[in-house]
Amino acid sequence: MRVEIIMPKMGESIFEGTIIRWIKKVGEKVEKEETILEISTDKVDSEIPSPAQGILTKILIQEQQTVPVGTVIAYVETDLSAGSETAGHTEVVSAAKDFSEGSSASGSNILLHAQNQKQDRHRFYSPLVKMIAKKEGIELNALDKIAGSGSHGRVTKQDIVQYLKLRPETTKTYCIRAVDISELNKKYPEPKYCLVRMDNMQKKMAEHMVRSVSTSPHVTIIDEVDLTEIVKFRLSILQQFERQTNFKLTYMPFFAFAVVSALKEFSIVNSSLEGDVIIYKNFINLGLAVAAPNGLIVPVVRNAEEKDFISLAGSLTDVAVRARAKKLSPDDIVNGTFSITNYGIFGSIIGTPIINQPQAAILGLGAIKKRPMVLSDDAGNDVIDIRSMIYLTLTFDHRIIDGAIGGQCLSRIKWLLEHFNFQLVLK
């Protein structure tokens, strides 16, 4: 039986994917669930398993090509005696689970018939409309919101031109321009120069960062926090905690727990802005910046406000491990409401992070360093002591968060860390 492997639907807002690398070559045997290729979307890179055991008989879409969800990208022949890509019956099989439905990647759940694929495909856009959208940096989720005046509500050239006239300057996406490397080689020849084209994830990250800075007026405030008691406590319970939970206790859960508590008090820091409307959220989806092999990625711990310390620590460990193993789904990195980035892991003590749009703020963690500090003893006298200190940086959107609120929120995070309730850690 010949199995059609299709470009999988990797989330509700994902409409196309780019093939990064074919791990298996034509003629090679593949096992069921064995990784057969890597794909990249505008949200995440993913390893795609083979849905069936057999021989990879034909590759239809080559590396670095981008195709819509549902496109047939390869054939696997499950009848090993057939030896031909045209032999046997053809069945449509998804190469990966439909993450938007949360289905399993094994068994009958991975079967998707052609009719369902057709119903699942996104709104049709003409090549001209797609070209204009790409040139002007209009993302697909924004394109979907444009009212179409054409047949059956189809978006026309006039519709998208009118949209561009009315669109505020600050909402534009600044796309990375494609450049002819062969022409650049004339200006920057080897061996003094080496030209490498950005991969899909790097381009998307670059565009996201430029868009963030152009959208929000960034304000950054910095405070120093005494973590001496947390450092001592963590060292004292490392082995006990790991025996109890089966994962290691890092410093991140302490920061995350303090952040979640502070955001409950300062809800505007957990909000977002759309037009002139402030959107307050009654939940906290906490983003954690992780340095993964293919670049920085921000997986999300959902409903962090509902978790106790141990549950939050477990969730943070889970998303970080899966991010580094390239096992995240697109749904794992969307709908965050506030983010934490730990640049201190590389030794930096102070940084000024960029807001992860459409969030309103982000907290940066510097490296924990021992420093001599002037303290007051019980008698009110100044004394010098060696303390474990860290600089925390809060960057926020000054359109909706003023300096007073930002300062109060950061001060609250500082207080919660310096007066941490250690009874929450072990039960």
**Burial annotation 240-263 (CB, 10 A radius, 16+ → b, else e):** ebeeeeeeebebbbbbbbbbbbbb
Helix (H, G, I), strand (E, B) or coil at 128: helix
Point out the domain boundary residue: 67, 95, 120.
Answer: 120
Residue 289 lies in a domain: yes
Cα 41 from Cα 68, distance rounded (Å): 11
Angle between helices 403-418 and 252-265 (to 10 degrees): 130
**Quick one: DSSP state of residue 346?**
G
The mean-pLDDT minimum among 99-113, 126-140, 224-238, 305-319 falls in 99-113
pLDDT at 85: 43
Do 288 and 410 belong together in one domain?
A: yes
The residue ranking higher by pLDDT, 224 or 152, is: 224
Residue 151 lies in a domain: yes
Q: Which amino acid is at 301?
A: V
Identify the H or E element spanning 319.
helix 309-324
Averaged over 8-26, what is the pLDDT? 79
pLDDT at 114: 33
Residue 209 lies in a domain: no
Do 109 and 143 belong together in one domain?
A: no
Q: What are phi and psi of 347, to 5 degrees?
A: 100, -10
pTM of the model: 0.68
**Burial annotation 317-343 (CB, 10 A radius, 16+ → b, else e):** bebbebbeebebbbbbbbebbbbbbbb
Cα 162 from Cα 425, distance rounded (Å): 56
Q: Residue 407: is its pLDDT beyond 50?
A: yes
Q: What are phi and psi of 199, to 5 degrees?
A: -80, 175
- Structure tokens of 175? 């796309």
pLDDT at 13: 56
Do 416 and 268 belong together in one domain?
A: yes
> Mapped to the 3 state alphabet, what secondary structure does 195-207 carry?
CCCCCHHHHHHHH
Tell me the β-bridge partners of 55.
29, 77
Q: What CATH number is attached to the domain comprising 278? A: 3.30.559.10
Do 82 and 137 belong together in one domain?
A: no
Do 320 and 265 belong together in one domain?
A: yes
Q: Which amino acid is at 112?
A: L
Q: Specify whether 79 is catalytic.
A: no
Helix (H, G, I), strand (E, B) or coil at 105: coil
Do 140 and 115 belong together in one domain?
A: no
Q: Which amino acid is at 352?
A: T
Q: Which domain holds residue 378?
A: 218-424
Q: How many domains does the chain fold into?
A: 3
pLDDT at 151: 66
- Which of these is catalytic: 122, 208, 218, 398? 398
pLDDT band at 405 (very low <50, low <70, confident <90, very high): very high
pLDDT at 147: 80
- Please report the DSSP string for 177-239 in residue order: PP--HHHHHHHS-TTT-------HHHHHHHHHHHHHHHHS-EEEEEEEEE-HHHHHHHHHHHH
Point out the domain boundary residue: 96, 120, 144.
Answer: 120
- Which of these is catalytic: 223, 382, 402, 419? 402
Residue 208 lies in a domain: no
pLDDT at 152: 67
Q: Specify whether 402 is catalytic.
A: yes
Helices (H) then strands (E): counts for the chain:
10, 20
Q: Residue 170: is its pLDDT beyond 50?
A: no
